[in-house]
Structure 1
């Protein structure tokens, strides 16, 4: 039962944080949405920030598994990361990158939320570097950082423009970097 309460808190937080923003959702709202009591909340998480970290860690695992599966389905070509992102952003509820959003809301670069988000970006860059190496590209680490920069910029622009066009544009720029 204890694990069930933890899972319900994480599920409620995941949905609310992504839809409304982390800072906009208070503990009372999380309790009401999850149906979990305050004492149970604090048995599982010392603070809301600790819950945020748990949500981001779960999101990191699931999102990177999704990306790797989507890229594998597209033949593990480096540009497939953009095709997967385009597919993701065409969902009706796209709100950008949860990790970039979290870094914006938590400005303490030494804090646990920022560290989890930064590690996510590092892991994505490592995955892209692996794809680039498989494709025979030189200086894979530097090129992967450029891909992540393009992905991040395009994702923010998608949120602003409500169109997948920025992802397609970023893919075109990335294709140019490969030649």
Structure 2
């Protein structure tokens, strides 16, 4: 577990390509042999990192949304509250899956994990939109996913203060417009 935690911290903080197995092993206090015995390769460690990050984000988001009271559309807006907290606590460099998509070769299996994460997020928001009685939940979910990803990028670049909160304000307008159609 220490290897994965160390690799996750380094991959996210410094970039996947910038981090070698030597650094991971050194920081984790293990030998390279131990790292390879546990994970097989750097690519397998990258996949484990992306899967672990995805699982943590999904559980964090769903818990946050499920703890939200109010009308069904409040759960859609809660995704932005979860994003705000996540970015403050764990996401200063932007979305790990967007970063992986940019860093990894197009044929790397990590690309599929990144796409699956975004597909899950889109489907989750579509389900929340359907529960809120939105007539075209797929269209609204796509708009909200774009706002989420845009907020992550704006936050990581420091180009917009309180990016998730501002995205939430825009989401409120989109939800209201989708409800009145």
Match of 1:177 in 2: 174
Cα deviation code 1:53-93 (max 9, x no counterpart): 00110111111000011111223621111111112223386
2:132 corresponds, among 135, 140, 158, to: 135
| Cα drift, residue 162 of structure 1 | 6.6
1:52 is the counterpart of 2:52: no
1:18 is the counterpart of 2:12: yes
TM-score (norm 2): 0.87
Q: Distance in 2 between matches of 1:176 and 1:25?
A: 42
Say if 1:89 and 1:164, in contact at 8 Å, map to a contact too.
no
Match of 1:145 in 2: 142
1:37 is the counterpart of 2:48: no
Q: Secondary structure at the match of 1:13?
A: helix
| TM-align CA RMSD | 1.8
Say if 1:90 and 1:164, in contact at 8 Å, map to a contact too.
no
1:168 is the counterpart of 2:165: yes
Residue correspondences, number:
172
Cα deviation code 1:93-131 (max 9, x no counterpart): 6221111111111141x4211100110111111111111
Q: Distance in 2 between matches of 1:162 and 1:73?
A: 31
> Structure 2: where are the runs of 5+ without partners?
177-181
Q: Bigger shift: 126-135 or 67-76?
A: 67-76
Q: Distance in 2 between matches of 1:149 and 1:131?
A: 16
Q: Distance in 1 between matches of 2:13 and 2:157?
A: 15
TM-score (norm 1): 0.88
Match of 2:179 in 1: none
